[in-house]
Amino acid sequence: MRSVIILLLFFFWQCKALPFNNPSDFRSKDFWEMQILRCFLEDKECIEIPQDNQGIKEWTRLLGQTGGTQTYSQSTITERNGYIYSVGTTGASLLGQTKISSSTDLFIAKYDRAGNVVWLKQMGSLGAATTYAELVHIDVFGDLYIIGSSGGPFNELPAIGAGSLLIKLNPSGAVLWTRIFPTGSETLGSGITTDPEGNVYITGNTEEQVINGETATGGRNTFLFKYNRNGDYVWTRLVDNGGPSSNGLQVQYDSYSRQILLVGQIYGAGTFFGNGLPGGLTDSYLIAFNTSGASQWVRLLGVPGGAASTNISALSVDKKGSVYVTGETNGNLDGQTKEGTTVQVLVKYSITGDKLWTRLLGGGGTSMTSGSQVFADNAFHIYTTGYTTGNLNGVSRIGVQDTYLSKYDGDGNLIWTRNSGSSGSTLYGRGISADRYGTLYFSGFTDGNIDNQIKQGTTDAFLMKYK
């Protein structure tokens, strides 16, 4: 039946080769022709199922090794077939893998819907160099990317030293290519996204002030690199800070506006894109770039007065181009009063960068709450994860520090909060993703047992499933 439909489809197009001159522009005929063809070829879902997670935990899985080792999951992503990928850093030899560095390796683990490990790959730098994984991403072709940093030679690049690290793998875990951007001083990769053509954009921060002809004047400077699908370098952008230092943290391609959204933090005296800073100890920024690397608009977020820090660490874009950023602040922000020493901040911006609302979430008293990741589903619900030492939204803390999952509607109303913890334990929530049905998977790490799962090392990575 599928073959008949495809033949009819080509007959409808008069049996001419489809040019697909502009398949990334959702406003074009080429875009919709490509979507229909991909649907029938089972390369994408033909029907969008509204996502509405109810916050019911189905399972928890721990990953670690005995002997006082530490394993941390930093990010998770879910593919269209329901497999889940978790990446992080470990000082162990995980599931029969050989530890490469005498310091830390990165790992990527593939799970099925039941929480079984399908495969795990561990990679590192020879010698005592450290290697970190910060984020995992899947492109429209189903290939995987890991962004992080390595302190020494890595994979097939034995002659290249420290720098931001970009690895491309296929769904079976085979490495397709590796790129390291080495510099004479520290350069750290932290965020990655791809566009519909498979171009790759990565961000992070560097102590360099000149890279590929781009200049910036901070002690640390945000970078944005573009590579094509084959890993060929395209361009570099160094954010011109006008004096202060900045850290690029996460980046996301928005298919609605066809822009690259970048969030990060900024600190020190001076200006940012010609704008005065809000005036906090640390402020944050959101920048929109086009795919050629030209900035479209810049928004700053912070608490005036010089005593508070506002640290945005993550963003997500919904299907209409609205942008959500999360992180933490220890000040009252945008007319919202904090409840706790440090609280989660969640801000919504329009597609053109207009601030629509701000929400703070804290545990009261002297508690510490921090948002580390945000996800917007296809029905305009927003989910955040992080950690807290307080009682959030009427939910009592279980351990020394719990991880949490909170759900909001598109107007910023808090719908529910789910805590995860165990007596005497400290947990950190780091990554969150969803499958096509809205099932949520979020990852992090714990120093204790949880949900009848027994940890192996001093610290184990966790992966949790919510429906």
Q: Token pair for residue 416?
A: 């529910």
Cβ density class 218-240: b for 16+ within 10 Å, e for less:
bebbbbbbbbebeeeeeeebbbb
Q: What's the pLDDT score for residue 46?
A: 66
Q: What is the CATH number of domain 131-457?
A: 2.120.10.10
Q: List C-alpha distances in Å: 384 to 112, 284, 332, 381, 451.
A: 23, 18, 19, 10, 21
DSSP letter at 140 equals T
Across-strand partners of 222?
A: 205
Kindly list the domain boundaries of the chain, sorted by start residue.
Answer: 1-47, 131-457
Report yes or no: 375 and 363 within 8 Å, Cβ to Cβ: no
Closest CA to 370 of 380, 360, 356: 360
Question: What is the DSSP code string of 286-309?
Answer: EEEE-TTS-EEEEEEE--TTSS-B
pLDDT at 151: 86
Tens of pLDDT, residue by residue, the chain (467 residues): 445 444 444 444 444 444 444 445 545 566 556 656 656 555 556 678 889 999 999 999 999 999 999 999 999 999 988 999 999 999 999 999 999 998 999 999 999 999 999 999 999 988 788 999 999 999 999 999 999 999 887 876 655 556 899 999 999 999 999 998 877 778 899 999 999 999 999 999 998 888 888 888 888 999 999 999 999 999 999 987 678 999 999 999 999 999 999 999 999 888 898 889 999 999 999 999 999 999 999 999 999 988 899 999 999 999 999 999 999 999 999 999 999 999 999 999 999 999 999 999 999 999 999 999 999 999 999 999 999 999 999 999 999 999 999 999 999 999 999 999 999 999 999 999 999 999 999 999 999 999 999 999 999 999 999 99
pTM of this structure: 0.90
Half-sphere exposure of 39 (CA within 13 A, CB side): 12
